[in-house]
Structure 1
Amino acid sequence: MKFTYIVVVFLMLFSTKEIVAQKDTVAQQRVARKMLRQGNELYNKQQFTDASVAYQKALGNNSNYDKATYNLGNAFYQNKNFKEAIPQYELTAKTATNKFTRAEAYHNIGNAMMESKNYQGAVDAFKNSLRNNPKDDETRYNLAVAQKLLEKEKQDNKDDKNKDKDKDKKDQKDKDKDDKNKDKNEDNKDQKDKDKKDENKDGDGDKDKDKKQDPKKDNKKDQQKPKPQQGKMTPQQVKQLLESLNNEEKKTQKKMNAKKAKGKKVKQEKDW
């Protein structure tokens, strides 16, 4: 009897807690629905920040409220908070019970990705939307735009990469040229310094040589060197001169004899 009493009391307590929990859940769901309606009114008035607050309150009372999740994503999107909107749409796409709701969630993910310039993510999202609703022409158009932008982005990145590559080549070429000129200038400078050093060395050597040379020896050497004497003639020149004088003397004598005959005196000049 005692055991039966305990079981009955336990069942009563459990039932009471369950009833209270159900009442709390029902109350929270009412609050969630109320906050959702309030959020929708603010959204229609384009008061997107206040609307997002109302949707968050709705989710605070009912975390599995799919409509509040999806509408919160829209409020973030309208406020240009694209990065915050995407997780809300992703949650909707994951928990959606029908393909059309899932397609709309992916469509909005694609739009948010486009606004964030994540064109690859946008292409993937639009494709997922079309998988759930192939007849959505608006999604198909957005997919074509996203693919075009993605292709342009890849081409621009390729061009920028090639441009950077060409710039790196040019910079390396200029650097090599500068290094080469620098090495050349350094070689020229080293050669000039070497030549100057050798020149100074030679000059110092000559000076040292001059300093080491014995002055007496130089004087002796100068004395031994024959010095030219003014008016001194070689024997050959003397012989020629004597012969010339002898000839002149003969000529003079002949002229004098001629003068005597003619009675006219002529002055004779020497040939040397």
Structure 2
Amino acid sequence: MSRIKLVLTITLLSFCAVQAQEEDKKAQREAEKALRESKNITYEANENLTQNDFINAEADYRRAISKSPENIAAPYNLGRAYYNRESYSEAFGKFKQAGEKASSKSEKHKAYHNMGNVFMNNKEYEKAVEAYKEALRANPTDEETRYNLALAKEMLKKQQDEQKNDQNKDDKNDKDKKEEENKDENKEGDNKEDQEGDQKDDKNKDEGDDGDKGEKKPEENKEGDGDEKKEQKQKPNQGDKPEQKKKPRPNQLSKQQVQNLLEAMQNEEKKVQEKIDAKKVRGAKIKNEKDW
């Protein structure tokens, strides 16, 4: 009974293996058929592109790609069609698809070489250098790729130098702007100090003018005291006998001379007072109206 089970098990396993092989062969035949059909569609797309019928060519390339992902020619040729129309973003996507699916070094080299060309047109020189290096790994003998790699390195160095110069220029502009702002701040501070000093001087000047108001000059006090003394001296004291009119001594002023001198002093006092009043009018500071 055990031997019968063993034989049955072996027979079943053999049948399953044969069945799996048949399924693999069938899938392989279907894949080969799909690849042939994809290549035929690619050929039609190439013909349409030769006749400048880009719309039908693009549609055929897309049909070919969806029919068989193993057809590297379809995305690669569609990428070239996009590249010639300067649709670099779409071209890069198709070249990348072809490079990832490429089974041979020749196909891989062509895809990455054209990816480098896309980066060069977009001025992405650093990425172009890496793409050309990858292409040369697949085909180190290609002189065109080697030349493009050298050009990409040269353009990358020039781009980096320009960026460095621009950065230095921006830093210099920022520094100059900061120095200018500091200079303006210092200037505003100096102007503020000058304004405060002017206001202080005006205040002191106003206080000085107010101090002159009501003050009597020494000459005025002196003149008043002199007049009173002279009047007392000329008037006889009560109880005294009137004296006889005496002749003025050579060094003594007469009454008329004293009167003239008194009038002259009063006139001089009047002039001094007028000058003081005029000075107060001129020195008065005009106040500006307040703004909201």
TM-score over 0.5 for the pair: yes
- Asked if 1 retains the 8 angstrom alpha-carbon contact of 2:35 and 2:70, the reply is no
Aligned residue runs from structure 1 range 165-244, under 5 A: 165-207=171-213, 210=214, 222-225=223-226, 233-234=250-251
**TM-score of the superposition, structure 2-length normalised?**
0.62
Alpha-carbon spacing, 1:128–1:30, altered in 2? closer, same or farther (3 Å): closer
Alpha-carbon spacing, 1:220–1:165, altered in 2? closer, same or farther (3 Å): closer
- Asked if 2 retains the 8 angstrom alpha-carbon contact of 1:48 and 1:79, the reply is no
The CA deviation at 1:159 is 0.9
Alpha-carbon spacing, 1:132–1:206, altered in 2? closer, same or farther (3 Å): same
- Asked if 2 retains the 8 angstrom alpha-carbon contact of 1:106 and 1:128, the reply is yes
Q: Quote the residue 2:131 is aligned against.
A: 125
Aligned residue runs from structure 1 range 73-222, under 5 A: 73-207=79-213, 210=214, 222=223
- Asked if 2 retains the 8 angstrom alpha-carbon contact of 1:82 and 1:112, the reply is yes
Q: Tell me, in whole angstroms, the C-alpha distance in 2 between the residues paired with 1:232 and 1:196.
A: 55
Aligned residue runs from structure 1 range 17-32, under 5 A: 32=38
- Asked if 2 retains the 8 angstrom alpha-carbon contact of 1:113 and 1:119, the reply is yes
Percentage of matched positions with identical amino acids: 32
Which one-letter code corresponds to 1:52 in the other structure? Answer: E
Q: Quote the residue 2:72 is aligned against.
A: 66
The CA deviation at 1:49 is 4.6
After superposition, what is the alpha-carbon deviation per residue over 1:69-103, rounded to whole angstroms, capped at 9, x for unaligned? 11121111111111111122122222211111111
The CA deviation at 1:182 is 1.9
Q: Tell me, in whole angstroms, the C-alpha distance in 2 between the residues paired with 1:232 and 1:178.
A: 80
Query: Aligned to 2:123, what secondary structure does the other structure show?
Result: coil
After superposition, what is the alpha-carbon deviation per residue over 1:29-53, rounded to whole angstroms, capped at 9, x for unaligned? 5653343122111222344454223
After superposition, what is the alpha-carbon deviation per residue over 1:2-42, rounded to whole angstroms, capped at 9, x for unaligned? xxxxxxxxxxxxxxxx9x99998788656533431221112
Q: Tell me, in whole angstroms, the C-alpha distance in 1 between the residues paired with 2:249 and 2:136.
A: 131
Alpha-carbon spacing, 1:220–1:228, altered in 2? closer, same or farther (3 Å): closer
Q: Tell me, in whole angstroms, the C-alpha distance in 2 between the residues paired with 1:129 and 1:26.
A: 28
Which one-letter code corresponds to 1:195 in the other structure? Answer: D
The CA deviation at 1:198 is 2.8
Q: Tell me, in whole angstroms, the C-alpha distance in 2 between the residues paired with 1:29 and 1:104.
A: 21
Gapped regions of structure 1 (runs ≥ 5) = 1-17, 236-272
Give the aligned CA root-mean-square deviation in angstroms: 3.6
**Aligned positions, number:** 215
- Asked if 2 retains the 8 angstrom alpha-carbon contact of 1:49 and 1:79, the reply is no
Q: Tell me, in whole angstroms, the C-alpha distance in 2 between the residues paired with 1:198 and 1:57.
A: 98
Alpha-carbon spacing, 1:62–1:89, altered in 2? closer, same or farther (3 Å): same
Q: Tell me, in whole angstroms, the C-alpha distance in 2 between the residues paired with 1:23 and 1:232.
A: 163
- Asked if 2 retains the 8 angstrom alpha-carbon contact of 1:69 and 1:92, the reply is yes
Q: Tell me, in whole angstroms, the C-alpha distance in 2 between the residues paired with 1:148 and 1:68.
A: 33
Further displaced range: 38-47 or 186-195: 38-47
The CA deviation at 1:225 is 3.6
Q: Tell me, in whole angstroms, the C-alpha distance in 1 between the residues paired with 2:53 and 2:166.
A: 42
Alpha-carbon spacing, 1:228–1:100, altered in 2? closer, same or farther (3 Å): farther
Which one-letter code corresponds to 2:101 in the other structure? Answer: T
Gapped regions of structure 2 (runs ≥ 5) = 1-23, 231-247, 253-292
The CA deviation at 1:105 is 0.7
Higher Cα radius of gyration: 1
Q: Quote the residue 1:41 is aligned against.
A: 47
Alpha-carbon spacing, 1:163–1:65, altered in 2? closer, same or farther (3 Å): same
Q: Tell me, in whole angstroms, the C-alpha distance in 1 between the residues paired with 2:55 and 2:151.
A: 30
After superposition, what is the alpha-carbon deviation per residue over 1:168-217, rounded to whole angstroms, capped at 9, x for unaligned? 1122222222222222112212221222233223333443xx1xx79xxx
